[in-house]
Amino acid sequence: MLSEFRLTVGDRQTSLLGASLSQDNVLFTSNLTNLPMQSVRGRDIPQGAIHIERVRLLWQDRLFERITLSNYSQEQSTIRVSLHFAADFRDMFEVRGSTRPKRGMAHAAKTDATCVLLRYDGLDGLARMSAISFSQAPDQLTADRADFLIAVTRRSRKMLYVEVGPEMAETPNRDRFRAAAARARFGMRAKRRHGATVHSSGRVFNDWVERARADVALLTTELSTGPYPYAGIPWFSTAFGRDGVISALQMLWLNPGLARGVLAFLAQHQATETSPFSDSQPGKIMHETRKGEMAALRELPFGRYYGGVDTTPLYIHLACAYADRTGDMAFVDSLWPSLCAAAEWTEEASRPTG
């Protein structure tokens, strides 16, 4: 969890040349170059002499990054490459503008030769940490910056590996980066194999379908109740009732297993009591759930919120559609008490009040 993660070369911002996402949504690559700058020894380096490639991926709660510096000039250059970082550990709702009367305690950063550990103890009793590790010891390392003096001979390249995670791990290196990329790609392929496939003679159509499947796979998280399509990255990377139901309905013809996971999760989190704070009533289906510090402390109602008016009837509709599509009546029977409670709430809520 970082609030800042920024690269400078020669104490200057870099110039973006382009960026792309791999077809399977695993690797993000950005290509950059230097602005006019000076080497460590004061020699002028023109713009475009140094190419910087940054490749990132996420795997098992860790960010893996490979930074490649290529020298396209005719002379060797020793350049200062700096990574600037910070972790304020603010709740998602703070980032979106909410204010809090009190926050937990941020600890002083701990550093060793190749790692910085940032820690925050929340008011909810949880310790949150971010460990930034480097494949080589920085020439200077502080609580918010790592400086590397890297000598790049002409027409050659140098690589730096960085990892960010909730705890310290082994020193980053090429093998760890490649292993994480391979496992992440294998996991994404496994997600995309669920359900039927669609293929045509049209290349553009096939590319569109594959991109759509990759996007659904990226948003789908495997929970104890089965797969659930989260609502969106970054603000809504959590389970939303309406979004999950609609996504499952749209995917029902192709992958009914997604609907089964959505139904099981929503049934497990169905309201059983009346609470004005969370807008819950017995039988009502959840609108959204959050696990941040503010939700845990009930500073806001979104830990498990039931404010949606259409989620409950949509849940019933999805169960009926799933039964019609699959004939899996054993699973629907297991949902029957939940469906009856949802139907009772829907009927009561739809009665005229005037």
- Predicted local distance difference test score (pLDDT) of residue 235: 85
Structure tokens at 24: 């399977």
Structure tokens at 273: 């009591």
More confident residue, 210 or 271: 271
- Predicted local distance difference test score (pLDDT) of residue 180: 97
Q: What value, to the nearest 5°, has the Cα angle with vertex 80 and ends 78 and 85?
A: 155
CA–CA distance, 263 with 228 (Å, rounded to integer):
9
CA–CA distance, 105 with 16 (Å, rounded to integer):
37
- Predicted local distance difference test score (pLDDT) of residue 9: 95
CA–CA distance, 100 with 94 (Å, rounded to integer):
8
Average pLDDT over residues 30-54: 93
- Predicted local distance difference test score (pLDDT) of residue 268: 97
pLDDT at residue 194 greater than cutoff 90:
no
- Predicted local distance difference test score (pLDDT) of residue 77: 86
Q: What is the mean pLDDT of the chain?
A: 94
Tell me the residue length of the chain.
354
Average pLDDT over residues 268-296: 96
- Predicted local distance difference test score (pLDDT) of residue 354: 54
Average pLDDT over residues 70-99: 92
- Predicted local distance difference test score (pLDDT) of residue 75: 86
More confident residue, 311 or 211: 311
CA–CA distance, 148 with 10 (Å, rounded to integer):
10
CA–CA distance, 284 with 288 (Å, rounded to integer):
12
Model confidence at 193, pLDDT cuts 50, 70, 90, reads: confident
Structure tokens at 95: 């980032």
Average pLDDT over residues 176-190: 95
User: Tens of pLDDT along 103-117?
Assistant: 999 999 999 999 999
Q: All domains of the chain, ordered by start, with CATH?
A: 4-85+130-187 (2.60.40), 200-349 (no CATH)
- Predicted local distance difference test score (pLDDT) of residue 62: 96
Strand residues in the chain grouped as ranges (E): 4-9, 12-13, 15-21, 28-33, 37-38, 44-45, 50-59, 62-71, 77-86, 105-106, 110-111, 115-121, 127-134, 140-141, 145-152, 157-165, 220-223, 226-229, 288-289, 304-305
For the ranges 111-125, 193-207, 270-284, the lowest mean pLDDT is seen at 193-207
